[in-house]
Amino acid sequence: ALPVDSLKSLADLHPKPSHLTFQYGTAGFRTLGSVLDSVMFRVGVLAGLRSKKLDGKTIGVMVTASHNPEPDNGVKLVDPRGEMLENAWEVHATTLANAPTTDAFVEALSAFVKALKIDLSKPARVVYARDTRPSGPALVSALEDGIKAIGAEGRDAGVTTTPVLHYLVRAINTKGTPEEYGEDSEEGYLNKLTAAFKKLVAGKPASPPLIVDCANGVGAKIAAKLSESLGDTLRLIPVNTATTTPEALNNSCGADYVKTSQKLPPSLASQLKAGQRACSLDGDADRLIYYYLDDRSKFHMLDGDKIAALVAAFVVDLTKAAGLESQIKVGIVQTAYANGGSTKYLSERLPVKCVPTGVKHLHHAAEKYDVGVYFEANGHGTVLFSPESLKTLSSHQPSTPAQSTALNYLVQLTNVINQTVGDGLSDMLLVEVVLAHKAYSGEEWDSLYVDLPNRLVKVVVANRNIFKTEDAERRLVSPPGLQTKIDELVRRYNGGRTFVRPSGTEDVVRVYAEAIVRSQADELAFRIAGLVY
């Protein structure tokens, strides 16, 4: 039976604010850190139950609000393979978070345990981590109360990145099995990535030192360690590493700032030289955006779409060189935010699928390919090798030395890539590998295809829930008539493409527009925003 007494006495310490409704969305629960105490407690309980349901497998909990401002915080659950929480449980999480009182919460829990036939005698294990936000420690202690209340065993992974936490979950759950993912520690993660990277770039001329904008977030901590373990193989220069300076997090820096404002972080202006490239992580280091200054010091952005194009071509080249072209096929997954230039370029070469926003949609679609390359334009993404592809790689007999070399590269790629989730630092190493192999500068990489000018704007509306979409969010079905008006407007713009969707993480509606000419993309976005408002 449920440990009702311990549940009730601890739940009483974490009452739900009566005026708020919480929702487990595409990024878990996310709102102001100051109102999340009860949510954290209840997520701790739920994580324990999820572990029991999955026969004691370790469940992950990450406390972060990623690229959002410092006062925000959030929490998301990680399933045993290091993937996002299963869909059905998102609804359970929302229900439990909104039970108005302790009694209502415990009642909802019993009903839940019964409905899902959770065997409470099973062990439960939870590993958790947080980013550098000031609200983190108190929220983690509420989470720990929840873990304790359900009688689960908790492991504190401390202050680390979202991708490290996902890695840990997979590493813990595969320990001692044939699918062992790596040693279950931050060091294990760093060693795995570094060892693979060193093998992949052995014999290639060293890349120039790389500036890494850490968004003044937790990425700074892991980037510093990575820099140490890489040594001269790749010289990293971490900047925006002020994790304890109030309000510095994600402020005028980081991947989201660069992608949204399409600008160089002002803090890098004096450091980045003409011709040099650099990259930005977001606040929990699961996103990555590259950029460079050309010879005339003009800024050029290399976003998630450009990373996908670079990486996919490289994997295809290697499968050809290894003689595995017919057995291992590469496919791409994008969202509607992918630049039209990238979609055109990629779909002329490879299968491309468009899915709704949210990593879980991309991840699941990518699992359907032998090698699935998925990236959101904002720089969140990774590459997945199917179990069959991994088998092929380990059993394939190369017939020439060239095939053998390519095969080894493919195997090491599977190690340098964090296949559990998008990982800014792992993706950075991946990009550097490809650039080293191709001897590409930022400019050469950029010239794979030309980005269409685009603009993304937020519109605050009275009720974003009336906005409903179809066709992977590319068309509105509600409010009635609005899509027709949008279609009429976009037709007047050369190369115009636009779509409107409600955000899953903020109380806004997003409008995206692109066109052949910059001024037209801007104008289209603002005129569509006018229709939405």
> Is 297 flagged in the annotation as binding?
no
Q: Which is nearer to ligand NG1, 148 or 464 (CB)?
A: 464
The listed partner (ligand NG1, Zn ion, none) that binds 284, CB under 5 to 8 Å by sort, is Zn ion
Alpha helix stretches (DSSP H) within 439-517: 442-446, 482-490
Binding footprint of ligand NG1 on the chain (CB under 6 A): 26-27, 66, 337, 357, 376, 378, 380, 503-506, 510
Binding footprint of Zn ion on the chain (CB under 5 A): 66, 282, 284, 286
The listed partner (ligand NG1, Zn ion, none) that binds 282, CB under 5 to 8 Å by sort, is Zn ion
State the minimum distance, in angstroms, from the CB of residue 89 to ligand NG1. 18
Q: Which is nearer to Zn ion, 10 or 359 (CB)?
A: 359
CA distance 204 to 209: 15
CA distance 24 to 463: 18
Q: In whole angstroms, what separates CA 145 from the centre of its chain?
A: 28
**Widest distance between CA atoms in the chain:** 70
CA distance 127 to 97: 20
Contact 368, 359 (CB under 8 A): no
Q: Which is nearer to ligand NG1, 198 or 360 (CB)?
A: 360
Q: What amino acid positions are annotated as catalytic residues?
A: 66
State the minimum distance, in angstroms, from the CB of residue 30 to ligand NG1. 8
* Structure tokens, 57: 């497998």
Contact 285, 380 (CB under 8 A): no
Beta-carbon contacts of 64 under 8 Å, excluding residues fewer than 6 positions away, are: 73, 74, 75, 76, 130, 131, 133, 162, 218, 283, 284
The listed partner (Zn ion, ligand NG1, none) that binds 90, CB under 5 to 8 Å by sort, is none
State the minimum distance, in angstroms, from the CB of residue 453 to ligand NG1. 17
Contact 22, 92 (CB under 8 A): no
The residue behind tokens 């009452």 is 15
> Is 284 flagged in the annotation as binding?
yes
> Is 503 flagged in the annotation as binding?
yes
Q: Which is nearer to ligand NG1, 381 or 442 (CB)?
A: 381
State the minimum distance, in angstroms, from the CB of residue 215 to ligand NG1. 14
The listed partner (ligand NG1, Zn ion, none) that binds 370, CB under 5 to 8 Å by sort, is none
Please provide the DSSP assignment of 179-205 as one string: T--S-SSHHHHHHHHHHHHHHHHTTSP
> Is 103 flagged in the annotation as binding?
no
> Is 312 flagged in the annotation as binding?
no
The listed partner (Zn ion, ligand NG1, none) that binds 133, CB under 5 to 8 Å by sort, is none
The listed partner (ligand NG1, Zn ion, none) that binds 71, CB under 5 to 8 Å by sort, is none
Closest CA to 52 of 112, 110, 122: 122
Answer positive or negative: Cα dihedral of 460, 463, 469, 472. positive
**Phi/psi at 277 (5° precision):** -110, 160
Q: Which is nearer to ligand NG1, 66 or 241 (CB)?
A: 66
Closest residue to Zn ion using C-beta atoms = 66
CA distance 419 to 385: 8
Helix (H, G, I), strand (E, B), or coil: what is residue 299? Answer: strand
State the minimum distance, in angstroms, from the CB of residue 241 to Zn ion. 17
> Is 282 flagged in the annotation as binding?
yes
> Is 377 flagged in the annotation as binding?
yes
State the minimum distance, in angstroms, from the CB of residue 379 to Zn ion. 9
Q: Which is nearer to ligand NG1, 319 or 357 (CB)?
A: 357
The listed partner (Zn ion, ligand NG1, none) that binds 343, CB under 5 to 8 Å by sort, is none
The answer for 173, left when phi > 0, alpha when psi is -120 to 50, beta otherwise, is: alpha
> Is 80 flagged in the annotation as binding?
no
Q: End-to-end CA distance of the chain, in Å? A: 52
State the minimum distance, in angstroms, from the CB of residue 163 to ligand NG1. 13
Q: Which is nearer to ligand NG1, 136 or 182 (CB)?
A: 136
CA distance 169 to 80: 6
> Is 501 flagged in the annotation as binding?
yes
Binding residues for Mg(2+): 66, 282, 284, 286
Binding residues for substrate: 376-378, 501-505, 510
Binding residues: 66, 282, 284, 286, 376-378, 501-505, 510
